[in-house]
Structure 1
């Protein structure tokens, strides 16, 4: 088995067996390709089955001089997954990275916006244009439901269940979840649909897509980044923000106001509660309040 065949088989496994998105598959593949490039650059002839832990260790030592600890940790994790796949398929008996520890890295706390900053950003939108109504609905939805940008651009009209108070969201690995949507967010989406979208010339392939560009096609993720960046510039916001900042703010503000961590996990679509726990960086007074309000000895 050569490296290219092994990589293709691994990509197929990630897609079919694990149901990962193309973006995730590309990230995992990128880590393996780095190792392949290292072997080629150093004229090291070995196969995925025969490569030794010493060769992999030397690769890790080499990249450690060029990338930060977080990137190094990600590459190690990606390669471990690749070699675990080879073990699963019985091509190998051991993982050459089993004895290689990832570097210690601090947990990066998410950037968040205050409620006033979010209101100021939305208030800076020019509502005299059709795109303005669309952009207001987008920001209200990002903050109101905590969506990933990829989830927002893929959202369909048929995913809106306003009478029930929910939207159906398709997340990573095509996993679907229902997220509550408040009436104010519903209102801004309805204004966009009725006053703007209904008057557009929409391409046949995007009749059910909610957010459209001027050509009647699905709005790109890059365009949403640009919309938010331009709004931040217009109000002289000192923070560097992205669509994900609204997702972080959604979760943080819910937690600060007493929402259950498990409920936040379900709304965000996190597989593990440990991913959601990053939002526990909020003021510790909320933890004290939880004891005072809910412990039977109080």
Structure 2
């Protein structure tokens, strides 16, 4: 039995036992495959059951010259998880990654868009095309609901509960949550869904998928990235943005307007409140206002 067998077994464990998404499983597997490629290129013939700390350390030294500290830390974490799985299944008794430390990384927050910048991006959409109405609805949904791009492209018509004011989102690990949706976002989705989408030749397997490409299939995440980057270029926006920038802006703007962290956590679908805090880029002026408005001794 070789590396492929154990990787496949590990993938099944991540998907079935831990309930991780397809994208997450792919990312975990990619790190192990990079180790396999290193072994192959250096003619090191060793199985995942016999590989030792010295060999793994050689790989970490090799990879550190190619990736930044954050990526290196992720690779180390992924490999630790893989070997921990092998121990869990009694394939081996020790973890060769046990003494290998991850490099220290700083938390880098993505750029936040101002409301004017978001309005400018949406205003730049060409609404004379069928794709224009779809793109406006997508950007309004990204910003209005704080979705991940993977959640956006997999959103289904049957997930829309407009009468109740919510949409159902299937997030990481196939965990479902209900996110409130504003009437303005509902309006643009309805315009696209009722007036534009019916004109697209929908493929049978995507009959319930809300946002479709021109061939009637599901949009890719890369396509949403391209749409947003083209709009940014069009308005001369200097910031480096992505679909995730809308999610970050959603959380930041809510906090700045008085929303509590716990509510934002639930809408974003974070298991830990600590994760939510990473998205919230707070300036000192805002924190001072919070203290002055909320502390019981503010007027003493």
Report the TM-score range of the alignment, normalised by the length of the smaller protein. Answer: over 0.9
The answer to whether the 8 Å contact 2:248/2:280 transfers is no
- Taking the TM superposition and a 5 Å limit, the aligned residue runs for 1:149-168 are 149-168=149-168
Structure 2 counterpart SS, 1:94: coil
Q: CA deviation at 1:213?
A: 2.0
2:142 counterpart residue number? 142
Say if 2:250 is the partner of 1:250: yes
Distance 1:166 1:66 in 2: 44
2:171 counterpart residue number? 171
Q: CA deviation at 1:205?
A: 2.2
The answer to whether the 8 Å contact 1:258/1:286 transfers is no
- Taking the TM superposition and a 5 Å limit, the aligned residue runs for 1:61-76 are 61-76=61-76
Q: What TM-score, normalized to structure 2?
A: 0.94
The Cα RMSD (Å) is 1.6
CA distance 1:231–1:60, shift in 2 (3 Å) = same
Structure 2 counterpart SS, 1:178: strand
Distance 1:102 1:118 in 2: 37
Say if 2:55 is the partner of 1:80: no
Q: CA deviation at 1:5?
A: 1.5
1:19 counterpart residue number? 19
Q: CA deviation at 1:45?
A: 2.7
Q: CA deviation at 1:214?
A: 2.2
Q: Which runs of 5+ in 2 are unaligned?
A: none
Say if 2:65 is the partner of 1:28: no
Q: What TM-score, normalized to structure 1?
A: 0.94
Q: Which runs of 5+ in 1 are unaligned?
A: none
CA distance 1:42–1:184, shift in 2 (3 Å) = same
1:40 counterpart residue number? 40
1:222 counterpart residue number? 222
Say if 2:26 is the partner of 1:10: no
1:106 counterpart residue number? 106
Superposed CA deviations along residues 180-226 of structure 1, whole A, max 9, x for unmatched, are 10111111111112221234432322221111222232222222222
2:57 counterpart residue number? 57
Structure 1 counterpart SS, 2:219: coil
Structure 2 counterpart SS, 1:71: helix
